[in-house]
Structure 1
Amino acid sequence: MLYHTKFLGGDTIKIGFIGPGKVGVSLGRYFTHKGINVTGFYGRNLENTIKAAKSTKSKVYCSLKNIIEESNILFITTPDDTISIIDTEISSFNFNLKNKSICHTSGSLSSNLLSNVKHSGALTYSIHPIYAFSSKNTDLKELENIYFSIEGENINENDEIITLMKILNNKYFVRSINTYSSYHLATVFVSNLVLSLLEIGTNYFKEFGLSEKEALEALKPLIMGNINNIFAEGFVKSLTGPVSRGDITPIQKHLSVLREDHKNVYKELSLNLLNLVALKMSLKTDNTAHEKNKELELKNLLENSNEYKYIYKILGGIEL
């Protein structure tokens, strides 16, 4: 379930950041922009920590002990393989962490990674901003539109972390603790793997003598038009291309010029497009059709169309 509730305030929340990297600095700047009290930053690299603190007009902490004492919410924004080390270090102070909220921002790890601070009384969370942070100078206006996913034990409306979300006025959703692998997989598919797919397509344009920049400029209207259509109409109504049309000849020509290491990617993605084509055809006759019927609808499509049946075969589809 998605939440988006307007909430004013923020002066009682004090947030400290452990890790002055792209995510930590960007979120720190954004929280400050939203009127939230950022206490400061702690980091291994003093120069980066000083810059992070300056960007948020906050404090440089030289010890974990001090930032813990002066913050009621701690964001661990370090690389994934450092989070458990920070968890151990914090718990080594033998503090009573009751009423402290400690979270990491990794989408690929669960809140269970913070087991030591949890045993010391802290409320622990994985809070993942669904955004690709490529810089510490992230446009704050862009951050106003991002979603946050929250995972933790027994989350309720009275949790301070939920209060923070309401102050930010960003949309968010709560997910269960066993979802972190599939959740992160979803974000990788639509972000990192899309980047890889675009790079593959752009390289074919470079074979025509275009630079990467020129190829991207040429392809941008096609890419953005497709993305805009998906957001406006959904996947099924945005279908175009030879698979959608049942056009066999262009697909055969594609397969003849594809690099060998790209063939499996092409075939798998095209087979998935056939699933969407089947769903589109079924929606023309039955408005109640939905994705749960995908396998049945594909079977019906192949039984009723020799063109699509042949496309399915040359793409390496297994007989249904």
Structure 2
Amino acid sequence: MTRSLSVIGGGHVGRVLGRLLGSRCAVLDVLTRSPSSARAAVDFIGAGVAADGYAALRPADIYLLSVGDDQIEPACAALAAAVPLRGAIVFHCSGALASDRLAAARAAGAHVASVHPIRSFADPAAVAADFAGTFCGVEGDAEAVDALNALLLALGARPVAIDAAAKTVYHAAAVFASNYLTTVLDAALRAYQAAGIPEQTARELARPLAAETLANVFRLGAAPALSGPIARGDMATVARQEAAVAQWDAATGELYHALIAPTVELARRKHNR
């Protein structure tokens, strides 16, 4: 039997998942902050009716809450007050918050979960067209997780079970792998430029080193991929570099200093394998 789906929140993630899940579910209602954005979301999804408020929502089997993190609990409470949820599945898409933020739905008899697609949604149409292979961090009630995993697998996605108690650390992993990696590479490029190398040339110098390091990390693991003075035990060079970087730019010097201890620990793991 085809399940029914309603979408609350018309941002990029909601639109993409609404369109994708709509290929497996019957989309009923789409509720967003304004009638115009709801109609735009319905157009993108290709199904459903733009709802003008929670009171207009019809009972559905699955509810997708694609709202900002600070709106998850209020939206869930409004949903629980508007429609019967016993036996339904309610899930949100936050990478930082766990499914326990859906307590109002659980109290109303729903099975709750969170599904976090590990993608950039800057171009929703492109993501929707190429969603197969996307990893999705999933946690929540067993009934909800089982049903959502089945839908994700049918879409070609790759659901991964995560520990709800460590959801914030899980989300921080993406920040380390993407945002802070960019910050560290920016420090490298600025340091090259401080040595008199033009910015474009600095990028070309850093590119093969960074690319090869990333390839080694993902092929071998972080510890075996570590090279450089700390991996060799050359702490005298590290001390000279730290002093030189701090003299050039105090903030970057603090960053360099903060990375020494975890890199020493990584080197220890490398040599104790």
| TM superposition score category, shorter chain reference | 0.7 to 0.9
Aligned pairs (5 A) from 1:79-90:
79-90=68-79
- CA change 1:184–1:114 in 2 (3 A) is same
Q: CA deviation at 1:157?
A: 8.6
Aligned pairs (5 A) from 1:53-92:
53-59=42-48, 60-69=50-59, 71-92=60-81
- Post-superposition CA distance 1:177-212 (Å, at most 9, x none): 42223322333322332233233333334544645x
- CA change 1:158–1:274 in 2 (3 A) is closer
**Of residues 8, 18, 33 in structure 1, which corresponds to 2:8?**
18
Q: CA deviation at 1:64?
A: 2.8
- CA change 1:221–1:269 in 2 (3 A) is same
CA contact (8 A) 1:41 1:52 kept: yes
Q: CA deviation at 1:115?
A: 1.6
Does structure 1 residue 169 correspond to structure 2 residue 156? Answer: yes
**Of residues 99, 114, 119 in structure 1, which corresponds to 2:102?**
114
Scaled by the length of structure 2, what TM-score is found? 0.83
For 1:49 and 1:201, locate their aligned partners in 2 and report how far apart those are by CA, in whole Å. Answer: 44
- CA change 1:170–1:67 in 2 (3 A) is same
% same residue: 22
- CA change 1:13–1:282 in 2 (3 A) is same
Quick one: which amino acid aligns to residue 271 of structure 2? M
CA contact (8 A) 1:127 1:149 kept: yes
Which is bigger in relative contact order (C-alpha 8 A, separation at least 6)?
Answer: 1
> What is aligned with 2:252?
262
SS of corresponding position for 1:150: strand
Q: CA deviation at 1:248?
A: 4.2
Query: What RMSD, in angstroms, separates the aligned Cα atoms of the two structures?
Result: 2.8
Does structure 1 residue 246 correspond to structure 2 residue 236? Answer: no
CA contact (8 A) 1:107 1:184 kept: yes
Between 1:140-149 and 1:104-113, the stretch displaced more is: 140-149
Q: Which runs of 4+ in 1 moved over 6 A?
A: none
For 2:244 and 2:34, locate their aligned partners in 1 and report how far apart those are by CA, in whole Å. Answer: 50
- Post-superposition CA distance 1:213-240 (Å, at most 9, x none): 7654553333222212211111122112
Q: CA deviation at 1:14?
A: 2.9
SS of corresponding position for 1:75: strand
Aligned pairs (5 A) from 1:1-320:
12-32=2-22, 35-39=24-28, 41-59=30-48, 60-69=50-59, 71-93=60-82, 95-140=83-128, 143-153=131-141, 155-156=142-143, 159-207=146-194, 208=196, 210-211=198-199, 215-216=202-203, 218-248=205-235, 250-258=237-245, 259-283=249-273
- CA change 1:101–1:244 in 2 (3 A) is same
SS of corresponding position for 1:134: coil
- CA change 1:137–1:218 in 2 (3 A) is farther
Quick one: which amino acid aligns to residue 252 of structure 1? A
Q: CA deviation at 1:112?
A: 1.8
For 2:233 and 2:145, locate their aligned partners in 1 and report how far apart those are by CA, in whole Å. Answer: 54
CA contact (8 A) 1:80 1:106 kept: yes
For 2:126 and 2:162, locate their aligned partners in 1 and report how far apart those are by CA, in whole Å. Answer: 26
For 2:90 and 2:167, locate their aligned partners in 1 and report how far apart those are by CA, in whole Å. Answer: 18
SS of corresponding position for 2:124: coil
- CA change 1:162–1:87 in 2 (3 A) is same
CA contact (8 A) 1:41 1:61 kept: yes
Q: CA deviation at 1:159?
A: 4.0
Residue-pair matches, total: 268
> What is aligned with 1:316?
none
- CA change 1:42–1:221 in 2 (3 A) is farther
SS of corresponding position for 1:143: coil
Q: CA deviation at 1:246?
A: 2.7
For 2:143 and 2:105, locate their aligned partners in 1 and report how far apart those are by CA, in whole Å. Answer: 20
Where do 5+ consecutive residues of structure 2 fail to align? Answer: none
CA contact (8 A) 2:98 2:164 kept: yes
CA contact (8 A) 1:156 1:162 kept: no
SS of corresponding position for 2:70: helix
For 1:205 and 1:282, locate their aligned partners in 2 and report how far apart those are by CA, in whole Å. Answer: 33
Between 1:108-117 and 1:248-257, the stretch displaced more is: 248-257
Quick one: which amino acid aligns to residue 132 of structure 2? E
CA contact (8 A) 2:223 2:266 kept: yes
